[in-house]
Amino acid sequence: MAAIAAGMHCVAGPKQLRQNSNPYRMPSPGDGLKNSFKNPSASRKSKMNDPQRIQDRINQVNILKQYQTPVFQLRDIPMVMRTRLGWPVSAKLMERWFNGNSYKMNPLMKKSREPYRLSQLPSIYLDENIIKMKWALGFERVNVAMENLKKKWNSPNGIERLEEMIKKQGMHQKNIPSRFGDLSKAAKILHETCQTNYWLIGKYGDPMDDFYGAMGESQLNIAVSGMVTPQERGKFSIEIDELGFYLRDCYDFNDENSPFEDRIGASQPLGCWGFTGVSCLTGWRFSINTNTELANISPETAKNRKYLVANSHFQKWRMENGKGGDFMILSDVHRIRLPRPIKISW
């Protein structure tokens, strides 16, 4: 207050009056007070360019962005299958899909119809190496399916198909007995020459295991081999002495002909996935990232997050990356020699 009072009551001396004869005139920039009236914009610009202030601002942003953590993305699923779940076969099939050229499976290929019969498909559309029957028979439901098919393959429909295939190959018209079905051939050959029946594997409630991740709902096929003997008046018989079993499936993420096809905006769900595995029992997010993304969350938070995955996410990934190729699957052939031949006559 003392300084303010002195300023209000100050009287200029004679010398000051000579320099500034009007004591009530406001000072001008020329009165030696230039440093007291700086350009405001210049002052702000100077502060903005101050290195220390810039560094302080960067430090503030870095505090706000404490983490740059990779979040779970679709391409991480094979890694989780292999390292967290112990599903090496599932991982191989999905990696093949991700690495393949972009291709959406033709419905005729799914049904193995012309011009997409299994024997006509190049290796880019047909995998014959990943699925092995020895591996598949390690799962109880596959063994149960094989036992059922072994007992029931010669149903009326199975016998009818067998007769058609024998006649198609002209074996009923030969003068001497000849062998029908060479089970040493690949499954794609057996499927068109001596496959007589099949059994569907896979249903809701199956165990979450490597077979579930790899094959899901698939088809166990049976091919037969035996001696065909022509008889009088165009009749013939066959004695089946060996059976061959193989798996067939299509690997794709398309929603055509699925239960979700008629639901607007719906796509078949494939579980809730994250770095720790697959489970929808705890909280999960609706949309998984289809490409790499960093987030300001702790590594622990990122590790425990789950994302609902659906067919549509794989379709989106294919569009964004120009990769992702559907393909057919065939296993090798598991052969069983019968202790007593099964005779069928026509």
Counted residue by residue, the chain has a size of: 346
pLDDT of residue 139: 98
Whether this prediction's pTM lies above 0.85 is answered by no
Model confidence pLDDT, tens digit, residues 44-96: 555 556 777 766 666 655 555 677 888 889 999 999 999 999 999 999 999 99
H helix intervals, the chain: 2-9, 14-19, 40-48, 51-64, 77-83, 88-99, 107-110, 133-136, 140-152, 156-168, 187-193, 210-214, 299-304, 311-321
* Percentage of the chain modeled with pLDDT above 90: 62
Low-confidence ranges of the chain (pLDDT < 50): 1-38, 261-262, 264
What's the first-to-final CA gap in the chain, in angstroms?
Answer: 125
pLDDT of residue 65: 61
Cis preceding-peptide flag for 115 (omega within 30 of 0)? yes
Distance CA 167, CA 236 (A): 10
pLDDT of residue 60: 58
Contacts 24+ apart (CB under 8 A), 156-163: 157/197, 158/196, 158/197, 159/344, 161/195, 161/196, 161/197, 162/196, 162/224, 162/238, 162/344, 163/346
pLDDT of residue 71: 82
pLDDT of residue 242: 98
pLDDT of residue 203: 87
